[in-house]
Amino acid sequence: DVKVTQSSRYLVKRTGEKVFLECVQDMDHENMFWYRQDPGLGLRLIYFSYDVKMKEKGDIPEGYSVSREKKERFSLILESASTNQTSMYLCASRTGTGVYEQYFGPGTRLTVT
Amino acid sequence: AQSVTQLDSQVPVFEEAPVELRCNYSSSVSVYLFWYVQYPNQGLQLLLKYLSGSTLVKGINGFEAEFNKSQTSFHLRKPSVHISDTAEYFCAVNRAAGNKLTFGGGTRVLVKP
């Protein structure tokens, strides 16, 4: 069965802290994605990775960075968390060829105080 | 660039009544179309997808959607909803030659007894 897991369901951090969100997939997928979800805005792409050590900016990369050292793991980093980064963060993965379905993790609800 | 508009942010509906969720997109190139569902406190799950062929697509849980190229729409329907269909529904498009999904703002469906 397809599985994407995220390291935390809920996270509370202080302004200025460095925050790591981790995502692991067990499907040997080439592509991995980080989104943030805000009410009324749907999901917006922060970054995606199409291979190990390869990354590409999405629509809202400012204030974020990513790391992909292994195929199954994709990390989102908030270098200095701010209150406007309070949101739900969703990770997804998909195969590099064929059908374009993305598989999603359960999400991490991050609150920055 | 592509964009997706979900015309209703919230749709209240009584149990066993039909429901239609509207989705319009804009794109200058061929696209693939998706509907995802997000149950409370969960990640997104694929309901159905249109890649090519028949414009009427059937998905899980009794949902179906119709692709209308001339109207650039991909509306989702279910003839009779259950309480368990209470969720948020997202329409998304992927360029036929691209990696990225673009999501609409979401439609929250509340099924009332």
DSSP A84: G
Confidence (pLDDT) at A99: 65
A42 pLDDT higher than 70: yes
Q: Does B101 touch chain A (CB under 8 A)?
A: yes
- Average pLDDT (A5-29) is 95
Mutate to test the interface with A, among B10, B47, B95, B99 (most CBs of A within 10 A): B99
Lookup: tokens for A83? 């209150």
Measured in angstroms, the CA of B46 and the nearest CA of chain A are apart by 8
State which amino acid sits at residue B27: S
pLDDT of residue A107: 95
Ranking A2-16, A45-59, A68-82, A96-110 by mean pLDDT, the lowest is: A96-110
Q: Say whether residue B45 is in contact with chain A using an 8 A CB cutoff.
A: yes
> Which of A4, A42, A100 is opposite residue B90, by nearest beta carbon?
A42
HSE (side-chain half, CA atoms, 13 Å) at A61: 10
**How high does pLDDT run on average in chain A?**
93
- Please give the helix or strand (H or E) that residue B21 lies within, else none: strand B19-21
Rounded distance between C-alpha atoms, residue A11 and residue A88, angstroms? 10
Whole-number Å distance between alpha carbons of B8 and A1: 33
Confidence of residue A98 (pLDDT cuts 50, 70, 90): low
* Residue A22 in contact with partner chain B when CB distance is under 8 A: no
Residues with Cβ within 8 Å of residue A102, at least 6 apart in sequence:
A33, A92, A93, A94, B101
pLDDT at A54: 92
**CA distance, residue B15 to nearest chain A CA (Å):** 25
Query: Do residue A101 and residue B49 have CB atoms under 8 angstroms apart?
Result: yes
pLDDT in tens, B56-102: 999 999 999 999 999 999 999 999 999 999 999 999 998 777 778 89
pLDDT beyond 90 at B27: no
pLDDT confidence bin for B31, thresholds 50/70/90: confident
Helices (H) and strands (E) in chain B, counts: 0, 12
Residue A35's DSSP bridge partners are A45, A90
State what percent of residues in chain A have pLDDT above 90: 85
Nearest by CB: B43 against A44, A50, A104: A104
Q: Is the dihedral of CA B26, A107, B35, B20 positive or negative?
A: negative
